[in-house]
C-alpha cells in the first residue's frame, strides 16, 4: 500500500519570519518528493527476486527506503509542530524539561545550539522522549536515519538547507530563531503525553490497590497546583516533580514508592518513569488524587500534613 500524504495542517502564510513560499516549496518538493520516492522504492522491493538480486542492490534499496520513510515521518512532525506562537506554557512538558535539563531555558539553549551547529550541513535537531532513560533528550541526527533507538520524537527541527535557504540563504542561526518563534506547543505536548503514557502502561496502580502500610506516597502535583490545594493523601509528603534529582536520595530504598499527581496523567507517569530510571521501584496512581478522592479514601488538610 502506498503511503498517503498528510495535508499541510498550518496556514503557511501566517508564520512569523518563515515565508509562505518557503513552506510551500518544502512541502511540495521535499516532503512530497520523499513520499513519492518511498512508494517507488517499495514498488521495486515488492518485485525483487530476493534469492538472486545482488547484495549491493538490496543494500541500496533498503537504505534508500529507510531514508525516504524517515524523511516522510520527520517532515510530518515538522510541519505539525509549527504554526504556534512559540510560547511554552507552564505544564507537564515544562516540568519535564526543567527536571531533565535544569530549566526550560537551559533546554532551549542546548536545542538551539545543537541545531545551529548543523548549519550548512544536513540533518535534524530532535527532542525525544527516551523510555530507556525515562527522560527527554536532545538528539543530533546527521541525516534522516540517525534516530535514538526506542525513542519517540516530540519536536523535530529540519536543518537541511532546503528548509531555510530560500528565506535565509546561509544564515542558519536566524532560521533556527524563527523556528523557535513558531513552535506550536499545543501539538508537541500531546505527543509527549502519548509517549509517556505508552512507556508507563505497566506501572500504574489503582487507588484502592495502594498498600498504605508499606508504600511511600509522594505527592508530585505541580508546584502551582499543590500551592492552591487544600488537602493531600493521608501519610503522603510533597516533592516537586520538576526536581526529582533533588529529592530522589531522600526516599527509603526498602519501601516501594507510589507517586500521585492531580489526574494521573503525564506528570505522575513521567515522575514514576524518571524514578525507575534512577533505580527506584516506583509506580504512579491511576487517576491521581482525584480518583483517590472519588472513592473516599482518606485525605488530610494540607496544613496538618
Ligand atoms: Fe526538509
159 alpha carbon – ligand 1 mean position (Å): 7
Give the mean model confidence (pLDDT) for residues 153-171: 97
pLDDT class for 245, splitting at 50, 70, 90? very high
What is the reported pLDDT for 130?
98
How far apart, in whole angstroms, are the C-alpha atoms of residue 79 and residue 7? 10
| The CATH number of domain 201-301 is 3.40.250.10 | yes
Residue 75 Cα to ligand 1 midpoint, Å, equals 6
Contact predicate 233/298, CB 8 Å: yes
- Residue 295 corresponds to which cell in the numbers above? 472513592
| C-alpha of residue 157 to centroid of ligand 1, in Å | 9
pLDDT digits (tens, 9 = 90+) for 111-131: 999 999 999 889 999 999 999
Asked whether the predicted pLDDT for residue 142 surpasses 90, the reply is: no
Q: How confident is the model at residue 145 (pLDDT cuts 50, 70, 90)?
A: confident
> What local confidence, expressed as pLDDT, does residue 49 receive?
97
12-199 and 201-301 share one fold? no
Say yes or no to pLDDT of 305 above 80. Answer: no
Q: What percent of the chain has pLDDT over 90?
A: 95
Residues with CB under 5 A from ligand 1 (ion): 30, 158, 160, 163
End-to-end CA distance of the chain: 59
Domain ranges of the chain: 12-199, 201-301
The fold adopted by the segment(s) 12-199 is minor pseudopilin epsh fold (3.55.40)
Q: Is the pLDDT of residue 25 over 80?
A: yes
Q: For 198-237, what is each residue's pLDDT tens digit?
A: 999 999 999 999 999 999 999 999 999 999 999 999 999 9
Burial code of 215-238, b = ≥16 C-beta within 10 A, e = fewer? bbbbbbbbeeebeeeeebbeebee
Distance 94 CA to ligand 1 centre (A): 27
Distance 292 CA to ligand 1 centre (A): 47
Amino acid at each position: 500500500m502506498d503511503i498517503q500524504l498528510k495535508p499541510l495542517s498550518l496556514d503557511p502564510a501566517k508564520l512569523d519570519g518563515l515565508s509562505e513560499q518557503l513552506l510551500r516549496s518544502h512541502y511540495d518538493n521535499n516532503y512530497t518528493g520523499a513520499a513519492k520516492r518511498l512508494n517507488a522504492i517499495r514498488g521495486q522491493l515488492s518485485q525483487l527476486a530476493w534469492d538472486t538480486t545482488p547484495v549491493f542492490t538490496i543494500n541500496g534499496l533498503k537504505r534508500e527506503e529507510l531514508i525516504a520513510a524517515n524523511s516522510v515521518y520527520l517532515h510530518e512532525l515538522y510541519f505539525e509542530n509549527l504554526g504556534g506562537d512559540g510560547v511554552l506554557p507552564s505544564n507537564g512538558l515544562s516540568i519535564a524539561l526543567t527536571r531533565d535539563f535544569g530549566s526550560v531555558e537551559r533546554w532551549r539553549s542546548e536545542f538551539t545550539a545543537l541545531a545551529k551547529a548543523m548549519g550548512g550541513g544536513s540533518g535534524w535537531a530532535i527532542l525525544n522522549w527516551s523510555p530507556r532513560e525515562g527522560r527527554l533528550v536532545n538528539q543530533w541526527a546527521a541525516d534522516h536515519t540517525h534516530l535514538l533507538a526506542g525513542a519517540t520524537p516530540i519536536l523535530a527541527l529540519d536543518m537541511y538547507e532546503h528548509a531555510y535557504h530560500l528565506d535565509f540563504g546561509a544564515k542558519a542561526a536566524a532560521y533556527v530563531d524563527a523556528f523557535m518563534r513558531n513552535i506550536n506547543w499545543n501539538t508537541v505536548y500531546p505527543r509527549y503525553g502519548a509517549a509517556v503514557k505508552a512507556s508507563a502502561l505497566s506501572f500504574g496502580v489503582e487507588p484502592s490497590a495502594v498498600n498504605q502500610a508499606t508504600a511511600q506516597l509522594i505527592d508530585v502535583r505541580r508546584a502551582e497546583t499543590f500551592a492552591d490545594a487544600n488537602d493531600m493523601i493521608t501519610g503522603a509528603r510533597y516533592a516537586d516533580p520538576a526536581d526529582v534529582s533533588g529529592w530522589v536520595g531522600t526516599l527509603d530504598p526498602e519501601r516501594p514508592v507510589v507517586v500521585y499527581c492531580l489526574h494521573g496523567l503525564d506528570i505522575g507517569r513521567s515522575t514514576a518513569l524518571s524514578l525507575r530510571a534512577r533505580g527506584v521501584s516506583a509506580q504512579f496512581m491511576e487517576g491521581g488524587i482525584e480518583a483517590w478522592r472519588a472513592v473516599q479514601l482518606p485525605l488530610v488538610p494540607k496544613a496538618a500534613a
